[in-house]
Amino acid sequence: MRRRDFLKTGAAAALAGGSTMTSAFTGRVSASGRGSDFSLWSWVSFKREYDADEWRRRFSRLREAGFHAVLVGGGDVELVSGAAQAEGLEYHRWFWTMNRNGDGWAKENHPEWFTVSRNLESSLEKPPYVNYYRWVCPSRAPVREYLSRRVGELAANPGVDGVHLDYVRHCDVILPRGLWERYNLVQDIEHAEFDFCYCDVCREHFAALDGRDPLEIPDPPADEAWRRFRWDSVTEAVRDLAAAVHEHGKPISAAVFATPAEARRLVRQSWDEWPLDRFFPMLYQHAYGEDIEWIGECVREGVAALAGGGGEGGPRPGTPLNAGLQLRWLEPAELAEAVVRAREEGAAGVATFEMHGLSDEHMAALRGARPGAP
């Protein structure tokens, strides 16, 4: 049986029910056909009501299903990381990077750090789309230093196995197509109120490079140099953060938009130029009005973009990519299919969003989708 058919059969077995599935993932398993490991990760939201024993029970369930690592947001590092590591899972700290809505100190002490739209409105005072969209500007040296210090402190913690960045970008200038109706918007062009950043520092830096004030560009969305400036400003900040984490000998990863091309277009994120150790594109198909097949297509695109490396300051050739999967939009059978497709297209693993949404049926589907499942 060819490998492809074999994997498909594995998924089919998972769909048929759990009774014939006796074995579980035994951790990282060689699966991509390229000699690399295929790993299961999950984002995990902190729950205040859980004690150490409860966390261990939750993580033991993940471990039994073959999970390798958790990306944990919020809460006490020692409590949750102690439980994860005791169950044999890596603990990566999930860090909100440029969206600093939860950062009372920055909001209070540095309102000038926050990004400014083409309408000259601060995302601190007038957050676009939703009231938690308050973003700091990656062009500002004090912002880069502050964020670098924060991720450096996390990486210095012995309980932290790695740092995982989220919201590493500007505010969405265009929302994914599947979300337009939810916000009652038509975004076939870049509207000024969602177009960032026109703060003093961005304007000065761009003028020093290019000679023009971005506010005086007649059609800013069409201007290649101005687009590139925003991509580079995020990328340069990420390079500082990567250095701060690598200094402690720890890996750094990020949740990113679906493909490098979409990420540049929607959120000014040129992630295939970042020197990170693993990428987690969020392949949440319904947000894009797409289906499971699209998940595979995005994986193929991302893996191809990373294959050759990013050159000076970029990722190493073949940096692993885990497909981020939204459980809310995946029935167990669909989850199995998404895992198989991601693997066929060269993903190094998947990551589920998020742990509390993993039903027993999802777990059974994951076990069945593993290579070699009966």
Q: Contact 243/276 with Cβ under 8 angstroms?
A: no
Q: Which stretch binds Zn ion (CB under 5 A): 134-142, 143-151, 153-161, 219-227?
A: 134-142
Closer Cβ to Zn ion, 199 or 351, answer by number: 199
Q: Check residue 285 for interaction with Zn ion (CB under 5 A).
A: no
By CB under 5 A, what part of segment 150-209 binds Zn ion? 197, 199, 202
Select from 32, 139, 235, 285 the one that contacts Zn ion (CB under 5 A).
139
Closer Cβ to Zn ion, 174 or 197, answer by number: 197
- Nearest approach, Cβ of 129 to Zn ion (angstroms)? 19
Peptide bond connecting 262 to the previous residue in cis, omega within 30 degrees of 0 = no
Q: Check residue 137 for interaction with Zn ion (CB under 5 A).
A: yes
What lies within 8 Å, CB to CB, of 300 at 6+ separation is: 345, 346
Please name the helix (run of DSSP H) or strand (run of DSSP E) that holds residue 80, with its range, or none: helix 77-86
The Cα 75–Cα 192 span in angstroms is 37
The Cα 163–Cα 245 span in angstroms is 7
- Nearest approach, Cβ of 115 to Zn ion (angstroms)? 5
Closer Cβ to Zn ion, 141 or 156, answer by number: 141
Closer Cβ to Zn ion, 139 or 285, answer by number: 139
- Nearest approach, Cβ of 139 to Zn ion (angstroms)? 5
- Name the amino acid, one letter, at 343: R
Q: Check residue 255 for interaction with Zn ion (CB under 5 A).
A: no
The Cα 265–Cα 257 span in angstroms is 10
Size of the site for Zn ion (CB under 5 A): 5
Q: Which stretch binds Zn ion (CB under 5 A): 131-139, 145-153, 272-280, 285-293?
A: 131-139
Backbone angles phi, psi at 184, to 5 degrees: 55, 50
The Cα 143–Cα 103 span in angstroms is 12
By CB under 5 A, what part of segment 72-91 binds Zn ion? none
Handedness of CA 13, 16, 18, 19 (dihedral sign): negative
Closer Cβ to Zn ion, 139 or 319, answer by number: 139
- Using CB under 5 A, list all residues that contact Zn ion: 137, 139, 197, 199, 202
